[in-house]
Amino acid sequence: MTIHKEGFGIITITFIILLGLNILVNIFISSNIFISYSFGILSVIFIFFVLWFFRSPNRKMVSKDNIIIAPADGKVVVIEEAIENEYFHDKRIQISIFMSPLNVHVNRYPISGKIVYYQYHKGEYLVAWHPKSSTHNERTSLVLKTLNGVEVLVRQIAGAVARRIVTYSKIDSIVNQGDQLGFIKFGSRVDLFLPINTRINVEINQKVIGNKTIIGYLE
């Protein structure tokens, strides 16, 4: 288990602020040992929560061309046929994974291929499980094209708490299944838009693990 690089800045700032507050508490409320100790304990718990949020577990996986791996930890909240209007402009199978603040927030490429499309969109901050969050919230969209010419769209969506999406993707880059795609901070969602003939391997409300759970099989 390691700490993701996206957390270094926030962890450092959080530690400095909590250290300063604890010093002030001990200076001005030194007569009340209960308050001093309680504040110190709560500070330690909070810093451990921040460290836990930015954890980045090392997960081994078996890469196969026809397998779609979960791009994130979380719960499957949508499995349906939908019209994807940003890139494909036709019917696709939409799989949406909701990540709570307790989930690992590293995002990974579900398949290997070439990045043929990338776009960042400013937007609102509806709760991530809201049906309109896929098209109304702050988000990034990227399309991966396999060697066989199959295209899969991955969309990172910010939630009501998340205010920053990090994406490492660049147009024309060749990426490997399971490599880090990016990171979404403090609650979010990832959508997949798959070919209509994809054989789906998950169910609604199923908990999935990034780089472990098989979402489906490309035909």
Q: Measured between alpha carbons, how far is 64 from 155 in angstroms, rounded to an integer?
A: 22
CA distances (Å), 139 to each of 84, 162, 168, 174, 190, in order? Answer: 14, 11, 14, 22, 9
Of 43, 133, 169, 188, catalytic: 188
When computed from its CA atoms, the radius of gyration of the chain, rounded to whole angstroms, is 20
Q: Measured between alpha carbons, how far is 153 from 161 in angstroms, rounded to an integer?
A: 24
Structure tokens at 6: 């996206």
**Which residues share a beta bridge with 55?**
3
Q: Which residues contact 115 (CB under 8 A, 6 or more apart)?
A: 142, 143, 144, 145, 169, 170, 171, 172, 173, 175
Q: Is 188 an annotated catalytic residue? A: yes
- DSSP assignment, residue 7? G
**Which residues belong to the active site?**
188
